[in-house]
Structure 1
Amino acid sequence: MAVGFIGLGNVGAKLAGSLLRNGQDLWVHDLDPVLVGQMVAAGATAGESPAEMMRRCDVVITCLPSPAACSAVVEAMLPEVTAGKIWIEMSTTDADEVKRLGAAVIAAGGQAAECPVSGGCHRAATGNISIYMGGDRETFDAVLPLLTVLGRRVLHTGPLGSASTLKVMTNYLATANLLTLCEALVTMKAAGLDMATTYEAIRISSGTSFVHETESQMILNGSRDINFTMDLVKKDIGLFQSIAEAAEVPLEISPLMVSIFEDGISRYGPRAQSDRIIERLEEATGLQILAPGFPAEMVDDEPEEPGYEVVPGRGMA
């Protein structure tokens, strides 16, 4: 099976790297020739365009920064979609757009799956990330062997659109956790607590979380480089707010989160790392939230393991 991968950004390059590391016949395409060159040096083949990728590959994966970018790429591939071709979308994107594009691929004779990931770039790099798959069961069974190379835990969420909806929700929760951690760390610093001790107090408590055990370390180190930017956070929590509005759910915290990140973008720029959002509170208080001994970047120290399907209500199968 020849696999194409379009979009070699922070997450995409790491996912594509997992395929190469496991001996997959891989074609790659990106607007940045440097990123393509790096993958070619590692053993991939360069594709000249999205249309060529679909023509030459059995499966084409897209991992792109926005619904608009995804739409442009899929529409360019559509003339080359035939029976047996599979499109997999691995971005965090709009559920309605995924359903529209997936329907177009299916109408052309192909199959479509949305497979957003969750767990951070460091786990994408090791093949230990979690994957949600939206699409029919036949397509899920067809792509599961590939998904268990890309990630460890694979959950079939239902029809197209369901995985994107759930992924936006998880990013909303992660962002809410990041903002409350920022407030907690700054408040403890203002109260005179040691920051390393504060980190451990949270880590061993009921208040701990995946976000704390990753992003709090980047904050305390001072690198604040979690490989996720403020514009992407704003996109994701904005998508969640749109879902709530469409369902007429009167959220209170979500609009405030959107406002906070809009302010962060106005201060630091759209491509600023998301955990720099703590600097709003540092500037307001004159405090620096730093501590020695924390890493400058996250590295997944768990060994790469074969992936498996997660079955709701049973944990794994």
Structure 2
Amino acid sequence: MKVGFIGLGNVGGKLSGSLLRNGVDLTVHDLNAALVADFVKRGAKAAESPAQLMRDCDAVITCLPSPAASDAVMAEMLPEVGPGKIWMEMSTTDYAEVQRLGAKVIGQGGAAVDCPVSGGCHRAATGNISIFAGCDRVTFERILPFLTTMGRRILHTGPLGSASILKVVTNYLATANLVTCCEALVVAKAAGMDLNTAYEAMKISSGTSFVHETESQVILNGSRDISFTMDLVKKDIGLFQEVADRAKVPLEVSPVLIDIFNDGIARYGDREYSPNIIKRLEEATGLDIRAPGFPPEMLDDEPEEPGYEVIPQSADRRVAAE
């Protein structure tokens, strides 16, 4: 099966790199010609347009910065969609929008999947990231070999759109955790604690988390480089708030997080690394939240392993009972 990939940025470049590294017949497209040229040097083919990519490939993956970008690309690809074609949306996007675009694909005989990733750019680079997939079961089983090449833990979340909802739910949790980790580190420093010791206390306690064990390290290093920026956080938590609003859930913490990141963007710019949200507290207290011995960026030190499908507990118990 031939695979096309559109969007070779921070995340897309790593996901498509895993496909290429593992021998998938890959054709790529991006507005940045230099990124395309690099992939061609490594053995990929280049497409002149999204339309050509859909025409020449069996499955086309998009990994783009906004719903508007996905809409524009789909407008070019749609005339080439037909029976047997698959569109896989790996962007973090609005679930209603992916359902709208997916309906067009399905209406022309194709299949549509939303399959966003979670786990950080460092795991995207090694093929060890987690992937959610929303689609019918038959389509899921067709694309599972590609998903297990790009990621390690693959979860079939239900129908089209379900993966996008769960993606923004998990990104909301990560954002809330980032802000609380920042507050915890600043309070520890203000109370006279050694930050290396504070990091370890948080790590071995009930307060630990994936965010603490990754983003707190680059915060303490001072680089704050997690390959994710404040504008992307604002987009993701905004999408989460939209899900809550549509479901008529009166949230309390989410609006505060949106205000915090709006303020961070106003102060430092929308392309500032997201962990630098801690600068608001550093400036307010005059404290320097850095410590020796932490890395400037996160690298995945786990070996690349074949991916597998994650079975939700209730389903797992049901299968065992049968």
Partner of 2:93: 93
Partner of 1:162: 162
Partner of 2:56: 56
Partner of 2:141: 141
1:173-212 → structure 2 map (5 Å cutoff): 173-212=173-212
Secondary structure of 1:271's match? Answer: coil
Deviation at 1:30, TM superposition (A): 0.6
Tell me the TM-score normalized by structure 1.
Answer: 0.98
Q: How many residues align?
A: 317
Q: For the residues of structure 2 that align with 1:22 and 1:104, how far apart are their CA atoms? A: 31
Partner of 2:224: 224
1:194 maps to amino acid: D
With 293-302 and 31-40 compared, the bigger mean Cα shift is at: 31-40
Partner of 1:234: 234
Q: For the residues of structure 2 that align with 1:81 and 1:60, how far apart are their CA atoms? A: 10
Q: For the residues of structure 1 that align with 2:303 and 2:260, how far apart are their CA atoms? A: 37
Deviation at 1:249, TM superposition (A): 0.9
- CA deviation map 1:167-219 (0-9, x unaligned): 00000000000000000000100011111110000000000000000000010
1:83-122 → structure 2 map (5 Å cutoff): 83-122=83-122
Q: For the residues of structure 2 that align with 1:307 and 1:130, how far apart are their CA atoms? A: 9
Deviation at 1:37, TM superposition (A): 1.3
2:9 maps to amino acid: G
Unaligned runs of 5+ in 1: none
With 29-38 and 13-22 compared, the bigger mean Cα shift is at: 29-38
Secondary structure of 2:126's match? Answer: coil
What RMSD over aligned residues (CA atoms) do the two structures have, in Å? Answer: 1.2
Secondary structure of 1:182's match? Answer: helix
Secondary structure of 1:125's match? Answer: helix
Q: For the residues of structure 2 that align with 1:43 and 1:120, how far apart are their CA atoms? A: 26
- CA deviation map 1:241-271 (0-9, x unaligned): 1111111111110000000000000111111
Partner of 2:249: 249
Deviation at 1:223, TM superposition (A): 0.6
Kindly report structure 1 stretches of 4+ aligned residues shifted beyond 2 Å: 314-317
Residue 303 (1) aligns with residue 293 (2) = no
Residue 19 (1) aligns with residue 39 (2) = no
Deviation at 1:43, TM superposition (A): 1.3
2:260 maps to amino acid: I
Q: For the residues of structure 1 that align with 2:100 and 2:266, how far apart are their CA atoms? A: 33
Q: For the residues of structure 1 that align with 2:262 and 2:48, how far apart are their CA atoms? A: 37
- CA deviation map 1:116-169 (0-9, x unaligned): 000000000000000000010110011001101010011000001100000000
Partner of 1:67: 67
Identity of aligned residues (%): 72
Partner of 1:264: 264
Partner of 2:276: 276
Deviation at 1:82, TM superposition (A): 1.4
Deviation at 1:57, TM superposition (A): 0.6
1:118 maps to amino acid: S
Secondary structure of 1:153's match? Answer: strand
Q: For the residues of structure 1 that align with 2:40 and 2:262, how far apart are their CA atoms? A: 38
Q: For the residues of structure 2 that align with 1:43 and 1:297, how far apart are their CA atoms? A: 28
